[in-house]
A and B are shown apart, each in its own frame.
Chain A
Amino acid sequence: MFVLVTYDVPAERTRIYRKLLRKHLEHIQYSVFYGDITEGQLVTIQNEIHNVLDTDDSVYIFESNVSASVECTVLGDADEPGSKFT
């Protein structure tokens, strides 16, 4: 499934979320992560986020069951997300 996660947290706490999300998703911008993952993986991510949430933190999770139904346009100097090649 398609998942997009964004967060807005105090500067000193960003690394907590970055580290957590990088394990599962592709880091596409400073606080934006994308991934084509399974429902189980999403539950894991949500649980992990719950464990670290603090009062000033906010996290958005956008999801769609069919990743093929999400259209993505990239403008400017960036790669298409989800590349299997480096």
Chain B
Amino acid sequence: MPQDNHHIFADGELSRSEDTLRIDTLEGETKYLPVESVGTIYLHGQIDFNTRALGLLNEHGTAVHVFGWKDYYKGSYLPKRQHQSGNTIVEQVRAYDDHERRMRIARSMIEASIHNMRANLKYYHTRDHDFGSEIQTLNQQRKRVGSVSDIEELLGVEATARKAYYACFDDILRDPFELTRREYNPPSNEANALVSFLNAMVYTTCVSAIRNTALDPTVGYVHQPGDRRFTLSLDLADIFKPILADRVMFRVVNRQQLGIDDFESELEGCLLSEDGRLTVLEVYEEMLDQTVEHPRLKRKVSYKTLVQTDVYSLKKHVLTGEPYRPTERWW
């Protein structure tokens, strides 16, 4: 069972005290975090910490994701690897190097991703929106996945599908939110800012899940393994963005939990305010804890567990050749 996340928005100090984590905020509040029960910590505020605190996090295998100015993802402190297996890494790289095997994994990832996008559109299609033609496009692209022979072509298919998908956002989102074009670095308007922030959250969720296995996060299958980023997390995040990020976005906007005044425009970009981020994260955390009956595991599992089982499935596939089943919304 994955453990809970904890988000620290306050400015202050994170330290080790009596064998557990202690937060002293600048407002003079002291809070203790049960280190045995916290899985991942997100730092959104200005936090001081020292090596004693890091040592404790290390002992308990707690990852820390750091967000900087305007909650731009800065990086992660990942504890010393608890799962080490040369065998897994060798097999993971072999699967990457073997064109056929890589394509098989990449194809199933893209298929799952398109399937999950389509599931979102279908949901709104039955609720007074007309996305017939976009759903058609997604169906076509999903079929094309089976016939592509290299990664570039596959990325093209994915891009076409995603474009058709994002084109529907404007219609789904309640006015005055609008997403005519997906833009980032920096996001140009409120909807883009929201997508960027939530995508970063999905990415970190995947980083934490991959870290619980011996897989190497830098070797991905769809994305080209470059420098400075965890390509495997990017691959997995694409599968989960429609399930986690996009649904949260539609919810906070359409239920008017978030308004235009929860954003700040600065330097030609637009970003969420601190209150806005808190609102979004509360809903995102609820979404991670939401459960669904799993047909193969025969029990209820949370969405967060789904991310974890997806990684396990990939690892099993790489090691034993058992079929990789990326998460496709079945509920």
Residues of A within 8 A of B (CB): 18-19, 22-27, 35-38, 41, 44, 84-86
Contact = CB atoms under 8 A, between A and B. Distances in A.
A85 B281 contact: yes
A35 B32 CA distance: 13
A86 B23 contact: yes
Interface of B: 1, 4-10, 18-20, 23, 25, 31-32, 34-37, 278, 281-282, 285
Contact of A27 (B9, B23, B32): B32
B35 A84 contact: no
B9 A86 contact: yes
27 contacts: A18-B18, A19-B18, A19-B19, A22-B18, A22-B19, A22-B32, A22-B34, A23-B19, A23-B36, A24-B34, A24-B36, A25-B34, A26-B32, A26-B34, A36-B4, A37-B36, A37-B37, A38-B1, A41-B37, A84-B6, A84-B7, A84-B285, A85-B7, A85-B8, A86-B8, A86-B9, A86-B23
Given A22-B20, A23-B20, A85 B9 contact: yes
A23 B62 CA distance: 13
Contacts of A19: 18-19
A46 to B, nearest CB: 14
Contacts of A35: 34, 37
Nearest to A86: B8
A85 B36 CA distance: 17
**Residue among A35, A41, A44, A84 facing the most chain B CB atoms (10 A cut-off):** A84
**Residue among A36, A44, A84, A86 facing the most chain B CB atoms (10 A cut-off):** A86
Secondary structure at the A interface, as helix, strand, loop or mixed, is mixed
A1 to B, nearest CB: 11
B278 A85 contact: yes
Contacts of A38: 1
Contacts of B36: 23-24, 37, 41, 44
Contacts of B34: 22-26, 35
Q: Which 8 A-B pairs have the closest CB atoms?
A: A19-B18, A24-B36, A86-B8, A23-B20, A22-B20, A22-B32, A85-B7, A23-B36
A62 B4 CA distance: 21
Contacts of A41: 36-37
A38 B37 CA distance: 9
A25 B281 CA distance: 23
B25 A86 contact: yes
Contacts of B19: 19, 22-23
Nearest to A21: B34
Contacts of A86: 6-10, 23, 25, 31
A37 B3 CA distance: 9
A41 B60 CA distance: 13
**Residue among B5, B19, B36, B278 facing the most chain A CB atoms (10 A cut-off):** B36
A84 B19 CA distance: 20
B9 to A, nearest CB: 6
A38 B305 CA distance: 15
A86 B31 CA distance: 8
**Residue among B19, B37, B278 facing the most chain A CB atoms (10 A cut-off):** B37
Contacts of A84: 4-7, 285
A24 B37 CA distance: 6
A52 B6 CA distance: 30
